[in-house]
């Protein structure tokens, strides 16, 4: 017990050096917590932006279409009757279904032309599944029966278009013949998902079907569910319907379409591990440095302790308590700084304007601001991790100090 | 039975390829309650001899017995235990722990050996501090004490665990002559009061006059042993 008391009292020695060590540990912890919050925020925002504006919770498609879906083919489309749609809607937790016909197109404004992705949607069903309608910044979404289109603000700026302007979509039909779709711009979008803003033209489903000559075909059916944790069960229920009706159609989780972001997340995990290793190294160096300097300064004191009959492990304990105290103080300070930093990034977010404002170029569907998230378990983890690192890294130098020859230590000058 | 017995103790230090003998065969017996001074010129082996007696170092040859038990070839851990329960040390440079008060420095030594109740431990520490004339200064830290007061704390720390022997290596070397004499007088008083055996080294003839036994050490050998 006295070793513990002495170790704690020793924290009041070399205040400046201890303060710097505590600050170094705290800074390392702050960086870990702050970056961790940003990374998790990025993941959460990315996933929400994918689900709410692109994929929904579940996508239903022909397996061969799914393989080639990035090429936007018009082969292997699916033809669902009202029966199947109703069956899917009746599954527990399903909030809505939205048919989509995705196709390649060139957007022509009369002067310039740019490659885009056309998206034929049934507007009423689409609004049940996606939150896109909440992000119309000018004009409105089209209503059924109108020959109108909705595009993103970025695309409109690129093509110098505004609401009520006319555009022509140049498309190839299922039979690979050229066709055009003339549409008036009904509204401009600015969604949190930059991929939507930059290159998609929303058109009424019936107009798209007619122009592409695909009859009642759709590329996929998007399903929205409110039971995210039970998504696999919902997918299984949807597939059950297709099996019963002997349809070669399959349901896929939104995660299948978010593979890029998930891969980036895996890279971020590796990055977090590297940060953790750096923190560990910084903390260890700080603690080891502190214990070595303390033991050098207190050589005669160590000699006296040994002369009085303290065993080596009792002297080791004195230094370990001191180092652990530094770890605790550094951890607490780091957690306080981290809490302040995370509070700021959660409340105000990081303005992506400093790095171009749009992370879609890195494959991350986030725009304008990146918000952090609170993860209290990472605070608890980093705090106890810090204590353990401090404790373990002090053992070596503490033992080195305690193992000194008592005669040399007492008469050390 | 002698409290301390040294038989043909030699200590040779190896400096590179050269062997430097510090003690050349010491035979010495110390009885309980003796108040002994080891004196001699610098390099005569006083400190080495005290280190051997104090179980801080082991001899190259010969044997040391404390209370009849051979201690000259014990392991480091066992030597630590011998020091803990049998030997008190007073150092020239006091070697007090600066973050502890006078009371806590004394308490530190007592906690190493006694498993007394808190109140008993406190009473014991306060009594010994009073006995060395430090009543009222218990809460002061070493940097708030004079040299003489610090050495009194060191004396109290050495005595509080009631060791068989207290060893002091030039305990007055850092003190002025009056303060040094005061510290030695306290040691004499404690020797008479508690019967503790004291062995200390010094150069100072003014200090030597308080000793009851004078051992003259020269070139690593005892050249004189006078009892008064």
How distant is the Cα of B215 from the closest Cα of chain A, in angstroms? 22
Q: Measured between beta carbons, which residues in chain B are less than 8 angstroms from residue A325? A: none
Asked whether residue A84 is assigned to any structural domain, the reply reads yes
Same domain for A138 and A16: no
Task: Quote ipTM for the complex.
Answer: 0.88
Give exposure, A178-208, as e/b (b: 16+ Cβ within 10 Å).
eeebebebbbbbbbbbbbbbbbbbbbbbebb
Lowest mean pLDDT among A234-238, A275-279, B13-17, B186-190: A275-279
Q: Distance (Å, rounded) from C-alpha A160 to C-alpha A166?
A: 11
Same domain for A117 and A10: no
User: Domain boundary residue among A248, A279, A309?
Assistant: A248
Asked whether residue A58 is assigned to any structural domain, the reply reads no
Q: Distance (Å, rounded) from C-alpha A26 to C-alpha A383?
A: 10
> Chain B residue with minimal CA distance to A12?
B99
Same domain for A237 and A161: yes
Q: What pairs with residue B226 in β-bridges?
A: B214
Lowest mean pLDDT among A58-72, A119-133, A384-398: A384-398
Q: Measured between beta carbons, which residues in chain B are less than 8 angstroms from residue A2? A: 107-108, 111-112
Chain B interface test: which of A7, A308, A314, A410 (most B C-beta within 10 Å): A308
Q: What is the pLDDT of residue B153?
A: 93
Q: Distance (Å, rounded) from C-alpha A75 to C-alpha B208?
A: 112
Biggest CA pair distance of chain B: 56
Convert the pLDDT of each residue in A300-330 to its tens digit: 888 888 898 888 888 999 989 998 999 999 9
Asked whether residue A382 is assigned to any structural domain, the reply reads yes
Residues 6+ positions from A16 with CB-CB distance below 8 Å? none
Residue A269 has pLDDT above 80, yes or no: no
Residues 6+ positions from A259 with CB-CB distance below 8 Å? none
* Token digits of residue A249: 């159609």
Chain A interface test: which of B46, B54, B58, B95 (most A C-beta within 10 Å): B95
Q: DSSP label at A309?
A: T
Q: What is the pLDDT of residue B198?
A: 92
Q: What is the pLDDT of residue A363?
A: 67
Asked whether residue A255 is assigned to any structural domain, the reply reads no
Provide the domain count of chain A.
2
Between these two residues, A359 and A151, which has the higher pLDDT value? A151
Q: Distance (Å, rounded) from C-alpha A79 to C-alpha A60?
A: 11
Strands (E), A134-277: 136-139, 148-152, 166-172, 178-189, 200-204, 220-225, 250-253
Across the interface, do B89 and A12 touch by the CB < 8 Å criterion? no
Across the interface, do A308 and B56 touch by the CB < 8 Å criterion? no
Tally of CA atoms within 13 A in the half-sphere of A126 that contains its CB: 23
Q: What is the pLDDT of residue A194?
A: 84
Of the pLDDT bands very low, low, confident and very high (cuts 50, 70, 90), residue A101 is very high
- What integer best gives the mean pLDDT of chain A? 88
Lowest mean pLDDT among A372-376, A382-386, B137-141: A382-386
Q: Distance (Å, rounded) from C-alpha A212 to C-alpha A78?
A: 14
Asked whether residue A254 is assigned to any structural domain, the reply reads no
Asked whether residue A253 is assigned to any structural domain, the reply reads no
Same domain for A107 and A196: yes
Between these two residues, A356 and A28, which has the higher pLDDT value? A28
Between these two residues, A165 and A266, which has the higher pLDDT value? A165
Same domain for A74 and A20: no
Give the percent of chain A with pLDDT over 90: 39
pTM higher than 0.80? no
Closest C-alpha to A6, from A397, A305, A402: A305
Domains of chain B as residue ranges with CATH: 4-215 (3.40.50.300)
Strands B61-66, B69-70: parallel, antiparallel or unpaired by DSSP? antiparallel
User: Domain boundary residue among A219, A248, A277?
Assistant: A248
Task: State in Å, rounded, how far the first CA of chain A is from the last one.
Answer: 30
Asked whether residue A56 is assigned to any structural domain, the reply reads no
Same domain for A398 and A295: yes
Q: Measured between beta carbons, which residues in chain A are less than 8 angstroms from residue B57? A: 406-407
Give the C-alpha distances (Å, rounded to integers) separating A308 from A71, B96, B174. Answer: 81, 12, 21
Q: With a cut of 70, which residues of chain B have pLDDT below it?
A: 114
Q: Measured between beta carbons, which residues in chain B are less than 8 angstroms from residue A310? A: 80, 84, 112
> Chain B residue with minimal CA distance to A298?
B97
Closest C-alpha to B208, from B83, B30, B17, B39: B39
Same domain for A216 and A155: yes
Asked whether residue A285 is assigned to any structural domain, the reply reads yes
Same domain for A128 and A16: no
Question: Which residue range is the domain that position A84 belongs to?
Answer: 63-248
Of the pLDDT bands very low, low, confident and very high (cuts 50, 70, 90), residue A338 is very high
Strands A94-108, A166-172: parallel, antiparallel or unpaired by DSSP? antiparallel
Residues 6+ positions from A312 with CB-CB distance below 8 Å? A399, A402, A403, B76, B77, B80
Same domain for A350 and A240: no
Q: What is the pLDDT of residue A224?
A: 92
Same domain for A283 and A238: no
> Chain A residue with minimal CA distance to B85?
A309
User: Domain boundary residue among A179, A213, A248?
Assistant: A248
Same domain for A181 and A36: no
Same domain for A23 and A69: no
Q: What is the pLDDT of residue A386?
A: 83
Are A147 and A186 within 8 A, CB to CB?
Answer: no
Closest C-alpha to B179, from B139, B214, B206: B206
């Amino acid at each position: 017990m006295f070793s513990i008391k002495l170790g704690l009292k020793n924290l009041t020695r070399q205040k400046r050096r201890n303060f710097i060590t505590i600050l170094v540990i705290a800074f390392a912890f702050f960086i870990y917590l702050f970056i961790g919050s940003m990374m998790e925020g990025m993941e959460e925002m990315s996933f929400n932006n994918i689900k709410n504006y692109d994929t929904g919770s579940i996508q239903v498609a022909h397996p061969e279409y799914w393989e080639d879906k990035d090429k936007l083919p018009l082969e292997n489309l699916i033809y669902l009757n009202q029966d199947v749609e109703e069956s899917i809607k009746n599954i527990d937790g399903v909030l809505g279904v939205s048919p989509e016909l995705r196709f390649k197109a060139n957007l022509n404004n009369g002067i310039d032309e740019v490659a885009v992705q056309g998206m034929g949607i049934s507007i009423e069903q689409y609004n049940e599944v996606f939150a896109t309608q909440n992000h119309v910044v000018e004009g409105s979404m089209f209503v059924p029966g109108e020959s109108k289109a909705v595009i993103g603000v970025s695309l409109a700026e690129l093509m110098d278009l505004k609401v009520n302007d006319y555009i022509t979509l140049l498309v190839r039909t299922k039979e690979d013949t050229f066709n055009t779709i003339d549409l008036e711009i009904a509204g401009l979008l600015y969604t949190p998902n930059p991929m939507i803003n930059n290159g998609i033209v929303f058109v009424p489903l019936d107009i798209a079907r007619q122009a592409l000559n695909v009859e009642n075909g759709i590329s996929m059916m998007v399903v929205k569910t409110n039971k995210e944790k039970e998504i696999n069960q919902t997918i299984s229920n949807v597939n059950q319907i297709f099996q019963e009706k002997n349809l070669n159609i399959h349901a896929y989780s939104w995660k299948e379409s978010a593979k890029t972001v998930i891969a980036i997340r895996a890279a971020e995990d590796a990055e977090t591990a590297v940060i953790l290793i750096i923190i560990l190294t910084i903390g260890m160096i700080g603690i080891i440095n502190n214990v070595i300097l303390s033991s050098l300064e207190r050589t005669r004191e160590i000699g006296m302790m040994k002369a009085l009959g303290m065993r080596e492990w009792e002297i080791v304990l004195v230094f370990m308590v001191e180092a652990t105290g530094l770890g605790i103080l550094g951890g607490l300070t780091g957690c306080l700084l981290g809490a302040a930093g995370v509070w700021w990034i959660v409340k105000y977010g990081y303005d992506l304007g400093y790095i171009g404002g749009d992370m879609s170029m890195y494959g991350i569907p986030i725009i304008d601001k990146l918000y952090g998230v609170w993860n209290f378990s990472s605070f608890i983890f980093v705090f106890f991790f810090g204590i353990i690192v401090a404790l373990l890294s002090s053992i070596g130098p503490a033992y080195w100090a305690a193992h000194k020859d008592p005669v040399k230590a007492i008469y050390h000058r | 039975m002698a409290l301390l017995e040294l038989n043909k103790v030699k200590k040779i230090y190896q400096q590179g390829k050269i062997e430097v003998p510090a003690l050349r065969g010491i035979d010495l017996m110390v009885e309980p309650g003796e108040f002994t001074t080891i004196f001699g010129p610098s390099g005569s082996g006083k400190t080495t001899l005290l280190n051997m007696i104090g179980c801080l170092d082991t001899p190259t040859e010969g044997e040391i017995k404390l209370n009849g038990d051979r201690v000259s070839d014990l392991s480091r851990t066992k030597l630590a235990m011998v020091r803990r329960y049998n030997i008190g040390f007073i150092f020239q440079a006091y070697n007090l722990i600066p973050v502890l008060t006078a009371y806590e420095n004394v308490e530190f030594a007592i906690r190493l050996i006694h498993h007394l109740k808190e109140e008993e431990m406190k009473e014991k520490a306060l009594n010994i501090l009073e006995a060395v004339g430090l009543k009222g200064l218990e809460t002061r830290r070493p940097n708030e004490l004079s040299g003489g007061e610090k050495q009194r704390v060191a004396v109290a720390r050495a005595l509080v665990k009631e060791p068989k022997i207290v060893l002091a290596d030039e305990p007055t070397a850092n003190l002025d002559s009056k303060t040094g004499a005061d510290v030695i007088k306290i040691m004499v008083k404690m020797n008479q009061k508690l019967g503790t055996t004291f062995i200390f080294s010094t150069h100072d003839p003014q200090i030597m006059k308080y000793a009851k036994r004078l051992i003259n050490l020269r070139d690593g050998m005892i050249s004189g042993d006078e009892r008064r």
